Structure formats: C-alpha cells, structure tokens
Structure 1
Amino acid sequence: MKKLILSLAFSLSIFNLFAQKNGSITGILVDSANHKSTLNYSTVSVYKVGDSVLSTYRLSDDKGLFKINNLQIGVNYRLIVTAWQYGTYRKEVSVTAEKPAVDLGTIYLSTKSNDLNEVVITGERPPVIVRKDTIEFNAESFKTLPSAVVEDLLKKLPGVQIAADGSIQVNGKNVSKILVDGKEFFGGDQQIATKNLPANIIDKIQVVDDKQAKRRDPDMLASEIPQVINLKLKKAIKKGAFGKLYAGGGIKNLYQAGGIMSFFRDTTQVSILAYANNINQPGFNPNDVQRIGGFSRSGVNSMMMSSGGYFEFNGINFGGSYSGIQTSSGGGFNFNTLTKRGIKINTQYFFGKSDNLLERLTNTNQTLGTDRQITNADENTSSMALKHNIGAKLDWQIDSLTQLTIEPAVVLNSNNSISTSFTYNTNASGQLINTLQNLNDRNASTNKYQLIADLSKDFKKAGRAFNIGFDVSTTPNPSLNYNRSNSVLFLTPSTSEIDQLRNNQIDNFRSYLYANYTEPISKKLNFKADINGNIINNENALNTFFRNPSNQLYDILVPSLSQSVKQAGFKTNANLSLRYKITKDLFIQPGLVYNYISLNNRFSNGADINQQYNFAWPTFQLKYKIFSLTYSARFTEPNVSYLQPVADNTNAFYIRNGNPNLVPARMQSLSINMYKYDPKSLINYNLYGYGNFTKNGIINRINIKDGVQTVNPINASGIFSFNGGANISKDFKKDKTNLKLGVGFWANFNHSPVIVNNINSDANVFYVGPNGSARLNLNDVVEINQSYSINLNRSRYEDSFYRNLSYNTQQSSTELIVRYPKKLVFETNYALSVNTQQLDGYNNNIKLWNAALTYLFMKNDRLQLKLSVNDILQSNVKRAIEITGNSVVDSQSNNLGRYGMLTVTYNIQNFGQKVGGRQTFFSF
C-alpha cells in the first residue's frame, strides 16, 4: 500500500507539472490573395525577445489553426510564421497575467517573391518547414548534449518515434533508409547513421516518401509508403571516420570484444567490423551493423529479430541467442561508392560463427475427452553454425525518369547439431504410457543464390508509370541426419529401436517476374495493370538407410522410408483496376484479379499428379483521409515437404507423414489501417486489422495410440484468422521536461478444424493483450520508462471431446537512467513475467534485474568504462507458452544467468571540420 501511495503521489505531481495554467497564443493562417485558403502545416516559432534560442514551436493544423501553450506569464515573445512559398511573418507578443491567452485572430500571409536583395536571418530559421512532399527540420533548433549522436537529435523531433530495436517511424510511417547529403550512407541503415554520426555536424533533417518503394508497389497506399531521412551535413563536414572499439571481461571466464569502423570521403564509404563473445549477446546492436556496417546501403533483403537480442540480416547471424548459452564471433566489410555517372555500387562480405548449448524442458498438455495425454521432454542440444554472405547492389539513375537496380547475393550456411532427449507420456491419472530416448546428429546446409533486378520508368505525362523486374533464386539444401532411438510402450508392452541415416537433398528453384503499368485517364481516374508470375521447380529427394551390423555402415536402403518428389509448374496473377478520386480525401479502386496455377508432382514410385486451377475474383481498395481498406485473393501451393508420401520417424512418438494429394489453397485477405498524428496536440493514434479466409488450407489429422501420435496433412476449408489492434499516445512537453503516455491493445483470433482420433471439431483460439506505457525525460538527466501488458489466451471447441483451455501472462518492465554527476551514468532495468500455468519445475515468476554504471572520459566522452551486472536475482530463464490445436505447449530453456562484466569502449568520431582537411584514419 505504501508503494502504491508513493506511486500515486508521484503521478499526481507529474500531472500537476503539466496541468499548470500558463499563457498561450492562438491564431489562424490564411492566404492573403483570396482570404479563404487556410495554410496547413505552417511553422509557428516562438523566441523570447532578445534571445536567439528557440523556446517552442507548433505546426498549424489542416484548418490553418495553431495554438501554443505553456508560455510563461510576463514575458515578451517574438513570433515567426513560415510557410512554403509564402513570405515570413514576424510579430512581438506579450503574455501577461491580465491577458494570458492571446488570440491573434486571422493572420494573412502573402506569396513569396523572388527578391534578390532579401536578407536571411539565420538566427530565426524556422525549426520545421513543410513543403509539398518534404518535411525539413532545422537541427540547430533542437538542442542536444555535446556528446549526442543523431539518434538523440531524432528523438527530439515531433512525429519521430524510435523503437527499442532502433527502427524509426515518422508520423507513423516506417523509415526505409537514411541518406547523408542525398547519398545512401552504409546501406541507408538506420542504426549506423543514427548511433554514430555526431548530432552537432547535422544542419538539416529532411523527410520524404520512398519513391522507389512506391514504384515497386503501385498499389501501396499513402499511409503505407516508407519514409527516407536525408541528413544534410554542415558544409565543413565532407570526410571522416567513426566507429568504436570495445573489450570486456568478467567472472566465469566470460568475455566480449569487437570493433566497428566506417570511413567516408564524399561519395565513397567503407566499413569493417569484427567481434567475439561468450555472453549470449550480438557483437553489435542492429543499428551499429546497419549504420556503421553498411548493410542498409548494400541491401537488407531479409531481417529477423527477437526480444532476446538475437538478430539476422540477409540470413547472417551477428551473434546473440534467445535461449541457451552461446559463444559467437564474426567479421566482414562493406564498400559503397557513387560513380561519376551517378551509379551507386555496393559490395559486402560477412561471416558469422556460433556455438550454442541449449537445455530445454517442454510440457505438452493435450485434452482427449475425459482423458489427457501429457508429454514431458527433456532436451539437450549442442549446435554449431557458420554463415557466409556475399552481396552487391547496383543502383543506376539512368535519367531523371528511369532507374535500374540489380542485386546479386550468395548466402552459404552450414549447421551441425547433436541433440539428445528423454521423453515420456502420462495420462490424466498420472499413469506412465511410454518412454523414449532419442539421439539426432544432424549436418545440414541451407544455401541460397539470388539475383534481383528492377527497372522503373516514369513518363512526362503526370501519373503514367511502368515498372518491370524479376527475382530468381535457387536454394540447394542437403541434410544428413543420423537418428538412434529406443522406445518402450507400457500399455501394450513392447520395445523398439531405430538406428538410421536420413539423406535428404532439397533443391528449390523459383523465378518471380512482375510488371505493372499506370495510365491516367483523367484527373480523377487512373487505370492500373499489375501482372506477376512464378516459375516453380522444386525437388525433395529422401533416402533412408539402416546401419549394417556386419560393417557398421549405413548402407541398407529402406524403400518404405525413401522417396523423391519433383514439383514443377507456374502460377500467375493478373490484376486490373480503376482508381477513382471521388473527393479530395476519398479514393476507391475496384478491380478484378485472375489467378491461374499449374503444377506437376512426379514421384519416384511412378506416380504423376497434375493440378490446374484458376479463378477470377474481385479486388477492392478504399482510402478516406486517414483510413484505408484493402481486399484481395491469391493461390498458395503446398510445400514440397508436405507432398512426400513417407514417414518422418526421427521422433518415434510423433510420426509425420506426407500427402501427395494435397491441392493448392485459395486465400482471401482483408486489411484495414488508420493512422493519425496531430501536430497541434502531439497525439498519435492508429488502428489496424488483418483477416485471412482460406479454402483448402493444410491442417493435421492426428491419430493417437499408446501415446504415439501419427500426423497426416490434409486439405480443409473453413479456416480463417484475424489479428489487429489499436494504440494511442500523447506527448506532454514543458521546458526541458517531456512526458509520453501510451495505451493500446492487440488481439488475435484463429478458427480452424481439429481432428484427433477421427473426432472433428472447430477450434477457436484467441489472444487479447492490453498494454500501457509511460516515458518521462527530465532534461536528459533522469529518464524513467515503464510498460505493462497482460496477455489473455483462450481456446474454445465445439465438441466436448476437447476441453477448453486458458492461461494468462503478465509482463512489466521498468527502466531508470540517471546521468548525474556529469561524467557518470547509472542505468537499471527490472522486468517481471508472471504466468498462471502452474507446472512443477517451471518458473512462473521470472524476475530479470540488470544494472550498470558507466564513467565517461576524454573529450566528447569518447572513452567509457562500464561495470554491468546481468540477472542480479539469478532467476532468469526463458519461457514460452502457446495453444496449438487441442494442446497447451509450455517450454522453458536455460540462459547464462548472473554475471558481472567490466567493459572499456572507445568511440571514434573523427570528423574533419575544415574543407579539404585530411583528419581521418583512412584516405581514399
């Protein structure tokens, strides 16, 4: 209760801080020529008279109205209004106790004339200028600490949101890349530029639509178009080097070390990096890899991240593990340049190696009428992965209307793992059904060779555009799996042993071709044609061998467990539509899509199955102001691994069969999206939803006997799912104090048939997760971040044979950062996860507490000494729970646990401040 009272008192004090009544200035901006057209998104800057430091500013709304709150009483202010293509308006305004709310009424702005004698007062540069298609921020209007980097500057800009993983949004739209002086900077990666470039070298920040993304997907709605940030450097900054070197050690022989450096001069940029550690951490954060490592400019074709710190770009693992204990290392380089003919050339090479030890407990609770089958598994896996990535990108702006992009890539990945497990099944009364001891020794490769090309052509006639391209890839993936197991059945007493080698060669070839064309018929009507096709050629060759007792070699072929299947064919999708502008804010785009798929599945036993399907279906898009709706349909062919008519018996208690008679699934999709950022009230809110309706989708028909499950994939209809959510947040700003509050929720619903022992039922599984967050920043000296969420998980079944399932998970995270005294930074975070699933040996209250103390040395705090302690309470494990079919699957895995680490980091930010200077670590 005492803690609750203190928390409420603190919240009320913060609320009162922002609720105090102060002065305000309001007005309406109007075009002086016709006295009717209001000027939206114009910048209203406020300075104290006699002071060149910006006090605050606002943007006018879509009706030209602006209101500036929280002004001090008894102060004279200088008001400066700037709007694109209009002259500057200046006025001194006094905010007094007698008249705290000043209403300037209607302010008329005249269009700007080209006056060669015009004088520009640099001290009054507006903080924000909104042009037709560009938002431009004046960096000097947003004060940062001397050691601040670009990320610190971006956090102060209105409408800019930076997530914990470093991804950036501007007014709700994702940022696809970052440019420096109009050139892609190390792949346009958001992390390299934002976390390494000093804020004090930036003159302007410009935000524009990603026109290349729009050309590649002409149907992309305005609310979905990614944004590009262009950092305009001060004139003196033209060459330099930046990066960091670090090394650390701790108890239990733990270590970490690495370096990442970037060198640039005008249009040429080079980056190198290397790292090694055994503390389950990536060598660098994603921002470092993209920003300094140059992966954004070279192209990030695939990305995967997890909350545990693990991430991959283009299939390359940069270290880090969500669970288990890992030792990892890696290195590589990235080269980017711009030729005199305007061709951007990027090349990269990177390798990564990781060794991981995973200990995992899994409990699967499956309802079967009045009985249950409870499966407990104890697994230990030791694995080693080695990946190489070779990539390049050529981006040629042939002329002002034509652009060609070519991207080759090679990814080589080998993975070797040895896994031992002990599994046992019991029924509802606790009676032992069976036991299994299993060993899997697997050596596999997942390689990929890819070539992407794209040609975009705009025409002089506004709105006419053409785009054509292809994506061709081949992925040879051989796998050798040595499998030994011993199982015992108790209800029907028997024992069995397996000692086999599964040699599986998977070769997939896919060629994706696409073209689209847009033709304006009138000012309100556009015709659009979008055609794409896939050429498919896949093969899955499986040969299984038993060990020969006479020579101990795996040379006895098992015909019943050996089979090859070749899948060849093509599918096409043609979409014709008309985009009609009903009003200024309302667009509709009805259309018709024609889908055709032709497949030939040929098996080594002589079977030959041909499949041809086609359908025509309406499509529809609607956009009204901030709301958009999209409806479409498509075919999806079954993966070739589902077609192979042999059993996968590597887990003797979970045998998976194939089905050569599977047919392609037809899926209809519906999405809605709504986003709004109000610059006047500093409120963000969004609503989104996605639905899929599937005919002939693939589900598993399961048969259980003596605890052994046999799974057969079949086609089924009546499958649909929906996920969506809503979020709202508001910023409160007063002087040097910022408070951001947010609430939201997400929901997921899945409806699918469940078939166990020939008992059919529809399963409805849904998840609901409300959440809230608060972030308080007191002049960058103290930061407090708090978040809380609860996930409600439920399943409901039509047949009483399946018992309804439910569990709840609550998660809370608290972070405190104190930068005081000047050279000392204290940070700590505490995360709590509470689950209602009560299982013996499983941690239901996971408490993770980390803390660190950093001391800053040298000019601009280049040298940092950090003492950190991970998992202070020694209670951190990884736990995951989900409902699948008629089961709750609960797993818990090991983690590194408590340790201390002392790390020294040297940040290199050596930027030449003189034109023509050579103060760099590298010369081109």
Structure 2
Amino acid sequence: MKKILLSFVFTLTIFNLFAQKNGSITGILADSANHKTTLNYSTISVYKVGDSALTTYKLSDDKGVFKINNLAVGLKYRLVVTAWQYGTFRKEVEITAANPVLNLGTLYLSTKANDLNEVVISAERPPVIVRKDTIEFNAESFKTLPSAVVEDLLKKLPGVSIAADGSIQVNGKAVSKILVDGKEFFGGDQQIATKNLPANIIDKVQVVDDKQAKRRDPDLTAAEIPQIINLKLKKAIKKGAFGKLYAGGGLKELYQAGGLMNFFRDTTQVSVLAYGNNINQPGFNPNDVQRIGGFNRSGINSMMMNTGGYFEFNGINFGGTYSGVQTSSGGGFNFNTINKKGIKFNTQYFFGRSDNLLEKLTNTNQTLGTDRLITNANENTTSLILKHNIGGKLDWQIDSLTQLTIEPAVVLNSNNSVSKISSSNNNANNQLINTLENLNDRNTSSNKYQLRADFHQDFKKTGRSFNVGTDISATPNPIVNYNRSNSIFYLTPSTSEIDQLRDNTIDNFRAYIYANYMEPVSKKLNFKVDVSGNIINNENALNTFYRNPANQLYDIVVPGLSQTVKQSGFKTNANISLRYKITKDLYIQPGLVHNYISLNNSFTNAADIDQRYNFIWPTFQLKYKILSFNYSAGFAEPNVSYLQPVADNTNAFYIRNGNPNLLPARTQNLSLNMYKYDPKSLINYNLYGYGNFTKNGIVNAITINNGVQTVNPVNMSGIYNFQGGANISKDFRKDKNSLKIGLGFWGNFDHRPVIINNIQSNADVFYIGPNGNIRLNLNDKVEISQSYSINLNRSKYDDSFYTNISYNTQQSASELIIRYPKKLVFETNYAITINTQTIAGYNNNIKFWNAAVTYLFMKNDRAQLKFSVNDILQSNVRRNIQITGNSIIDTQSNNLGRYGMLTLTYNIQNFGQKVGGRQTFFNF
C-alpha cells in the first residue's frame, strides 16, 4: 500500500507539472469566401519570433476551433496556419501578463489559386498536414537522437503508439503495412523499416487508409480500416544495407552471438541471419525476426510468445525459454522482389535448434468432498528440438481491381525428449496413497505441408466484389514413445510395472475452400453471400508393444492398446445476409447461416460410426460509429485424438481414454468492440467483449480410485464463456517532455460442468484484473515507467463435494532509463509478484531485478558496449498458478538465475548516396 500511495503522489506531482498553464491562444479557422465553412484538422504551428525552431503546434478540431496552451508569458510568437487546399496564413502575436489568454476570434483563410505558384519557406514547413485522406508529418519537426531509428521518430508523432510487441497504431487504428517511397520494399512489413532505418534519412511520414483491406472486407467501418505508413526518404537515398552484429560473454561459460543483414535496392530485399546463445534468450527479438526474416511478407500463420522471451513463428523456435535452461542456435535467409509487372515474390528458409533442460516441481490440490487428492511431482526433462521452415509467396496485383495471392509452406519439426518424473499422492489426512517413478523417451515429428491461395475481384460498380480462396494442409505427425514406470500403492499394498513402446502416427488432412460475393441493391442496401467447405481426412494409428524378455526387443503386440481411427467427411457453411444502412453512422446486417457436417469414424476393431447434422441459425451484425457487435454460430468436430478408444497410460496415475461416440460441438459466438482515439485531447480508449455458448462440448469425466485418475471425454451442454475488458490512456505533452497514463480492466468468466467420481457440479471460474501504468519521458534523457495489476481468481461450485477456491496475485513492474552523460545509457527494471496461495516449499513473493549500462561510440553511435546483470537478487524461480476443474495447479521451475554479460553490438546502416560518386561496400 505504501508503494501505491507513493506512486499516486508521484503521478499527481507529474500531472501538475504538465497541467501548469502559462498562457494560451485560441481561435476559429474559417473559409474567407463564405465565412461559414470551418476548417477542421488544420495545423497551427507556433514559432518564437526570430527563431526558426518549432515551439509547439496544434490541430483544429472538427469545428475549426483550436487552443494552444503552455505558452510563455512576455514573448512574441509567429503563428503559421496550414490547411489542405488553402493558402498559408501567418500572424504575429504576443502573450502578456495582462492578457495571458489571447482570443484571436475567427481567422479567415483563402483557397489556393495555383499550387505551382506557392512560395515554400522551408523553415516554416508545418509539422503536420491533414489532406482529404492523408496525414503527413514533417520528420524534421520531431527531433531525435543521432542514433535514432524510424521507431524512435514514430513514437514522437501525435496519435502514433507502438506496443511492446512492435505493433503500431495511428489514432487508434492498426497499421497494416509500412511502405518506403510508396513501394513495398519490405513487403509491407511493419517493423523491417522501423527498427533499422535511421530516422535522419526520412523526409516525411505519410499515413493513409488501407484501401485493399476495405476491398477485402466491405463490412469494415471507418474506425476499423487499417492504416498504411509511407516513409518518404530524402533525395539521393536509393539503395543500401543495414543490420547488426553482436557477441557477448559472461561467467559460467555463458555466451551469445549473432548477426543479421538486410540488403535492399529498389524493389529487391535479401536478408540473412544467424545466432547462438545459452542464456535462455532468442537469437533476436520477435521484431528482428519479423522484419529481417520477412515473415510479415511471407505471412505469419502461427505465433506463440510469452513474457519470458520464448517465441515461435510458423512453428519455428527462435530460441528463448521462460523456464529451464536452454542452448539455442539457428539461421536462415529471406528473399523478396517485385518484377516489372508488379508481381511480388518471396522465398525463405530458416533452421532452428534448441537443447533444453527443465526441472519442474508441481503441486496439484484437488477438492473431493471431505477428502483431498494432493499430488506432488518432480520432473526432469531434457530435449533436443530441430525445426526447418521453407516458404514462399506470390502476390500479383493483376490490375487495380484484381489481386491473386499464392503461398506454399513446408515446416519440418522433430523433438527428441527424455522425461523422468517422480510423483506421490496424499489424501486430506496426509496419508501417502501411492508413489510413481516414470520414464518417457519420446521421438516426435510435427510436420506440415500447406498451400494457400486467394483471388479477389472488385468491379466498376461501387460495392460489388468477389473473393475466392483455399487453404490446403497435410500434417503427418509420427510419435514413438518408450515408456517405463513403477508404481507402489500403500493403502491397498500392491505394485505395478509398465515397459512398453507406443508407436502413434496422427495424419491430418484438410482442404478449406471459401468464397464470398457482395452486391449493392441500392444506396442503403447490400446483399452478401458467404460460402465455405472443409474436407476432412484424419487418421490416428496406434500400435503398442511390450518388451520381450527373451530378446529385450519391443515386439509383443498388445491388441487392447492398439487401434487405428479414421475420421473423414466434410462440413459446409452458407451465410446469406442483408446490410442495411439506417443512417450515416449506423447499419445493421441480419442474416441466416446454414451449417452442415457429415463425418464417418471408422475403427479397426469396432463398427463404423456415421454422423450427419445440420441446422439453420440467425446471424447479426450491428455497427454504430466506433461500436460493433457480431453474432454467429457453427460446428466444430472433435479432434481425432479424442476419438481413439485406446487408453493413454504413459502416466500410470493419469490414464486418458478416448470416446469414439463423441458428437460435433455446436457453438454460438458473440463479440462487442469499441475503439476511439481523440487527437484533440490525446485520449485513447477501447472496450471489448467476447462470449460463446457450446452445446455438446467436450468435458473430461474423471474417476479417482486409489490415487489413480482415469479420464473419459464426454459431450456436455451448458458450457459458456465470457471475457472482456476496457482500457483508457491519455498523453500529456509539454515541450520535449511527455507523460502517458493508462488504466485498464479485464475479466474472464467460465461456466462448465465438472464430473469427479460420477458427482457432477457446475464450476464457475472468475478471473478479474484491474491494472494501471504510467510512463514519463523527459527530453529522451530520463524515462520512468511504473505498472501495477492485481488478478482476483475465484472458483465456485454448486455441489458441496467441491470446495470453493480463492487466491489473488499482485504484480508490479518498474523501469528507469537514463541517457546521460551523452554516450552512456543506464537502465534497470524491477518486478515483483505476490501470490496469496500458500503451499509449503513454494516462494510466494518472487522478485526480479535486472540492470545494465551501455556505452555508445563510433560515428552515429553505431557501436554499443553493454554490461548487464540478470536476476541480481538470485530469485532463481519461475512460478505459475491456475485453476482447472476442481484443482489448483501450482508449478515451480528452474532458470539460469543471476549472471553477468558483456556484449558488443555493431549496427550497420550504410545508405549509398550519389554524392561525389562515392560508393559503399554494402551497396549492390
């Protein structure tokens, strides 16, 4: 509480600093011809008289009104007003102590007689120009450090926000592409330019609507249309290369090294990268891989990330792990080009390798009426993961109305792991029920072969469009598992031993075909048809063998543990809807969807099961200004692994059965979204919510006998889930200082049946989490940030057999960055997690403290020498708690702990300029 009060006092002090008012200027902009038309979103630039440096600026609102605060009293200022299609207006004013609030009344601007005759004063270039469909920022008006990249420039632009994952928003709208001089040098990758291009080569930053996204989805409202950022380079910037090389080492034989280069010339881009380390870090951060690897151009089909640094794109592990100890390495290349006909080509190959050691302690506490089942497990797992990714993409803009995209991809993944688990079960009286020693030696391959294609056609008639596409994939995944275990039971004395080989191959094939057509019936009414079909052909082949005592080979077939399941069929979805525009800002789109599914489940040792279902259900969309609401419904077939009637006994205390009689689930989905950014007040807020209702969903019915759990998946209805949240943030700016304050709230409610020992209860699980953050930037010299969140976790049951569960988690994170003196950067971050769930031997207060100092040298600070210390307090623990069914699962795992690292980084930013005929090594 003391920390929170201090943060509150600090926030009030900073807020008061930014809220101080010296003097202000107000006025209204209007057309000089009719005196009635007001000029919205015009730029008012303020300069001190006799000084060409921009003091501040403001945009007029939608009624032409402007107000400029925080102007010093006793100074003369020069106002420069710039409006699209109007001539430049200039006026000198003075703020005095006697008249600190200066009202200029209505200022009249004249339309331009001839753009070509306009005299441009370069010293008065407005920082922002708003045209009909374009916002243009003058890069020179937003000062950055000599070593700054485009991302640093974008952070200074009003209305532009960059998230921790590198995603960009402008005025609350997501950025879908970044172009350079109007060309997709990097396939529209959002970060290939922002993280690498120096800010000092940018002349203008232009923001426009993504018209292609609007064509692909005509239902998008103005608030939902993504944005495109176009970086206009300074003259003579025609070709170049950029990237970085780094190497570091520390005690305990720790190391990291890597390099990545990106060469570009006109419409061609070539990237290469390689890395290796044993400090649980990815070779590059996710932003590096996206921009250099060209994943955004070739397409990110799957992405997995966590706060510990681990991430995957398209199934490729680029290193990094939240828990355990890992050594990782990898490399690859990417090639992008555009031919004279405008066809974009991409090819890429990546290889990744990681060696992992995971030591994990798990405590699972289950409530069973007056009794409990308390499981303690100690796991030691070593694994070697090898992954290859081969991909390509062809994107052809055939003409202004027609586009074709083809994307093939191959992912090859192998995981060889050896896991040793020692576990024990106790009851509520702390009596030992049983113990288990288990060894699993698994060789797994997860491969994927995929082809995606999409054809889009617009027509000359506005609103008419046609789209057709397909997504075909085959995923053969063989699993070979050598499993040995020994179990001892104490309440009913006995022992059990397993020594077997499970050869399991899961082959999934899917061919998804879709098409949609929109036809405008009138100015207010549109007719839309969406149809799709999904061909399904899956197989789960399992063969189990016992070890032969005679020859020590696994060649004794176990018929009761061997079975082949084949799932084949198709499902279709046809949606017909009418979009009616009620007012300028409001439209509704009611419709009907017909879902049909036909499945045949065949078994080697049982009769086939045919399933055919269909239903007609209403759909509905409503959009009003920034608010959108959607409702739909559909089928989802059970995964073929659930249909396998053979038990999975690789964990002798947790046996999983299959159910060949499982039915497809029918789900109703609804969503609510609202997003708004106010450029006048610099306030950004959003509200979102999602929900689903499921009939015939899959629920695990568990039987517990003598400490052994047997799981049987069954169909159940009455399953529903709701999740949502709200966020609001406000920016304060004064001179070169900025303050951002944000508040948020999220929640999740899950209602589903729980079945233990034939006792059924409804479980209501709540997760509620308010949060807040503040970030202060003082002239890029000092940055301070603080965030705090509390998660309230509750689980309630309507049967007394189960005990309600409750615990809270508090998290606080602080960061301090000091860029002073000029060539030094100090940075430190401190995080603490406090959990009220108390279990013996587990640390509930986990503290992390990291710090680093960086020395910048060479021209433009291209070289950096960084000394960093990780986990200064030697916390050496990773902890995660979750509620599942009637259980609290509390997990603790190992990590590297405290270590120091000295790293040298050299940033390569060469750009050939035809000045004096000089060429550079990296130009090609």
TM norm. shorter chain > 0.5: yes
Give the corresponding residue for 1:746: 746
Change (3 A) 1:510 1:849: same
Contact kept, 8 Å, 1:260 with 1:293, in 2: the verdict is no
Q: Within the alignment, does 1:718 sit opposite 2:708 as a pair?
A: no
Letter in 2 for 1:97: A
Distance of 1:5 and 1:295 partners within structure 2:
45
- Residues 765-797 of structure 1 show CA distances to partners (whole Å, capped at 9, x for unaligned) of 010001010100110111101101010000011
Distance of 1:106 and 1:174 partners within structure 2:
35
Change (3 A) 1:389 1:374: same
Which has the larger displacement, 382-391 or 44-53? Answer: 44-53
Give the corresponding residue for 1:707: 707
Which has the larger displacement, 139-148 or 416-425? Answer: 139-148
- Residues 167-190 of structure 1 show CA distances to partners (whole Å, capped at 9, x for unaligned) of 222223332332222233434333
Give the corresponding residue for 1:827: 827
Distance of 1:917 and 1:252 partners within structure 2:
50
State the shift of 1:60 in Å: 2.7
Distance of 1:32 and 1:688 partners within structure 2:
44
State the shift of 1:5 in Å: 8.0
Contact kept, 8 Å, 1:263 with 1:921, in 2: the verdict is no
Q: Map 1:318-467 to 2 at 5 A.
A: 318-467=318-467
Give the corresponding residue for 1:789: 789
Distance of 1:364 and 1:54 partners within structure 2:
62
Give the corresponding residue for 1:636: 636
Give the corresponding residue for 1:278: 278
Q: Map 1:24-63 to 2 at 5 A.
A: 24-32=24-32, 35-63=35-63
Letter in 2 for 1:183: K
Give the corresponding residue for 2:697: 697
- Residues 548-586 of structure 1 show CA distances to partners (whole Å, capped at 9, x for unaligned) of 111111111111111111111111111111222211211
Which has the larger displacement, 106-115 or 676-685? Answer: 106-115
Letter in 2 for 1:658: G
State the shift of 1:295 in Å: 2.3
State the shift of 1:16 in Å: 2.7
Give the corresponding residue for 2:908: 908
Letter in 2 for 1:240: G
Contact kept, 8 Å, 1:308 with 1:321, in 2: the verdict is yes
Give the corresponding residue for 1:849: 849
Give the corresponding residue for 1:675: 675
Q: Map 1:567-646 to 2 at 5 A.
A: 567-646=567-646
Distance of 1:471 and 1:701 partners within structure 2:
35
- Residues 90-146 of structure 1 show CA distances to partners (whole Å, capped at 9, x for unaligned) of 333322222222223334444444443222233323222333433322211211111
SS of 2:116's partner is coil
Q: CA RMSD in A?
A: 1.8
SS of 1:158's partner is coil
Letter in 1 for 2:639: N
Contact kept, 8 Å, 2:223 with 2:625, in 1: the verdict is no
State the shift of 1:452 in Å: 0.9
Give the corresponding residue for 1:244: 244
State the shift of 1:8 in Å: 6.0
Contact kept, 8 Å, 1:345 with 1:394, in 2: the verdict is yes
Give the corresponding residue for 1:511: 511
Letter in 2 for 1:570: F
State the shift of 1:592 in Å: 1.4
Letter in 2 for 1:307: T
Change (3 A) 1:636 1:111: farther
Contact kept, 8 Å, 2:155 with 2:161, in 1: the verdict is yes
State the shift of 1:731 in Å: 0.8
Contact kept, 8 Å, 1:912 with 1:920, in 2: the verdict is yes
State the shift of 1:70 in Å: 1.3
Distance of 1:149 and 1:286 partners within structure 2:
17
- Residues 7-45 of structure 1 show CA distances to partners (whole Å, capped at 9, x for unaligned) of 566444323311222222223334555555544333332
Give the corresponding residue for 1:310: 310
Which has the larger displacement, 299-308 or 842-851? Answer: 299-308
Distance of 2:356 and 2:840 partners within structure 1:
26
Contact kept, 8 Å, 1:241 with 1:921, in 2: the verdict is no
Q: Map 1:557-568 to 2 at 5 A.
A: 557-568=557-568
SS of 2:775's partner is strand
Contact kept, 8 Å, 1:693 with 1:721, in 2: the verdict is yes
SS of 1:193's partner is coil
Give the corresponding residue for 2:190: 190
Question: Equivalent pairs: percent with the same residue?
Answer: 81
Give the corresponding residue for 2:67: 67
State the shift of 1:208 in Å: 2.9
Contact kept, 8 Å, 2:911 with 2:923, in 1: the verdict is no
Contact kept, 8 Å, 1:847 with 1:876, in 2: the verdict is no
State the shift of 1:595 in Å: 1.1
State the shift of 1:529 in Å: 1.4
Q: Map 1:529-548 to 2 at 5 A.
A: 529-548=529-548
Distance of 2:699 and 2:36 partners within structure 1:
61
Contact kept, 8 Å, 1:190 with 1:287, in 2: the verdict is no
Distance of 1:72 and 1:530 partners within structure 2:
60
Contact kept, 8 Å, 2:171 with 2:679, in 1: the verdict is no
Distance of 1:64 and 1:459 partners within structure 2:
37
Distance of 1:754 and 1:764 partners within structure 2:
10
TM-score (norm 1): 0.97
Distance of 1:331 and 1:157 partners within structure 2:
35
Contact kept, 8 Å, 1:191 with 1:286, in 2: the verdict is no
SS of 1:195's partner is coil
State the shift of 1:862 in Å: 0.9
- Residues 341-396 of structure 1 show CA distances to partners (whole Å, capped at 9, x for unaligned) of 11111111110000000000111110001111111110000001011111111111
Letter in 2 for 1:613: Y
Q: Within the alignment, does 1:774 sit opposite 2:774 as a pair?
A: yes
Distance of 2:896 and 2:140 partners within structure 1:
44
Give the corresponding residue for 1:487: 487
State the shift of 1:220 in Å: 4.2
State the shift of 1:415 in Å: 0.6
State the shift of 1:468 in Å: 1.1
- Residues 180-213 of structure 1 show CA distances to partners (whole Å, capped at 9, x for unaligned) of 2223343433333111110011112222333444
- Residues 245-292 of structure 1 show CA distances to partners (whole Å, capped at 9, x for unaligned) of 110110000000000111111111111100000000011111111223
- Residues 43-74 of structure 1 show CA distances to partners (whole Å, capped at 9, x for unaligned) of 33222233332222222333333222212222
Q: Which runs of 5+ in 2 are unaligned?
A: none
Contact kept, 8 Å, 1:185 with 1:193, in 2: the verdict is no
Change (3 A) 1:187 1:361: farther
Letter in 2 for 1:162: I
State the shift of 1:297 in Å: 2.0
Which has the larger displacement, 695-704 or 178-187? Answer: 178-187
Change (3 A) 1:376 1:187: farther
Give the corresponding residue for 1:263: 263
Distance of 1:226 and 1:668 partners within structure 2:
27
Q: Which runs of 5+ in 1 are unaligned?
A: none
Which has the larger displacement, 458-467 or 807-816? Answer: 458-467
State how many pairs are aligned: 924
- Residues 658-679 of structure 1 show CA distances to partners (whole Å, capped at 9, x for unaligned) of 1111111111111111111111
- Residues 870-914 of structure 1 show CA distances to partners (whole Å, capped at 9, x for unaligned) of 000101421111111111111011010000011111111111233
Letter in 2 for 1:329: S
Distance of 1:551 and 1:220 partners within structure 2:
68
TM-score (norm 2): 0.97
